[in-house]
Amino acid sequence: MTREEARKHMVDKDAKFINHKSMYKCWSYTIFVLTAVLSFKFNKLYYSFFYDQKMFQAQFTQSKYYRKMMTWY
């Protein structure tokens, strides 16, 4: 798609949302970062044999796929 074609499909941005986002920029970034970090840490904690007990060991068949996805994440 060329730039000229892309300009035909562009729509105006929501001014109220942009204003809201700029007012609460710090909180928006804080929530985003905490969500990303904590979900990764809890997932890693669970699948890394939490407390080294059998009941917390992940039982899945695609361990290579899981490791690859966690590396990309």
Per-residue pLDDT of the chain (73 residues; tens, 9 = 90+): 788 888 888 877 788 888 888 899 898 889 888 888 888 777 776 666 665 666 656 666 676 777 777 676 5
The domain total for the chain is 1
Q: How far apart are CA 38 and CA 45, in angstroms?
A: 10
Q: Is residue 7 part of a domain?
A: no
Q: Is residue 33 part of a domain?
A: yes
Q: Is residue 19 part of a domain?
A: yes
pLDDT of residue 26: 92
Cα(first)–Cα(last) distance of the chain, in Å? Answer: 30
Residue 46 and residue 58 in contact, taking contact as beta carbons nearer than 8 Å: yes
Domain of residue 57 covers 14-72
Q: Is residue 37 part of a domain?
A: yes
Q: Is residue 2 part of a domain?
A: no
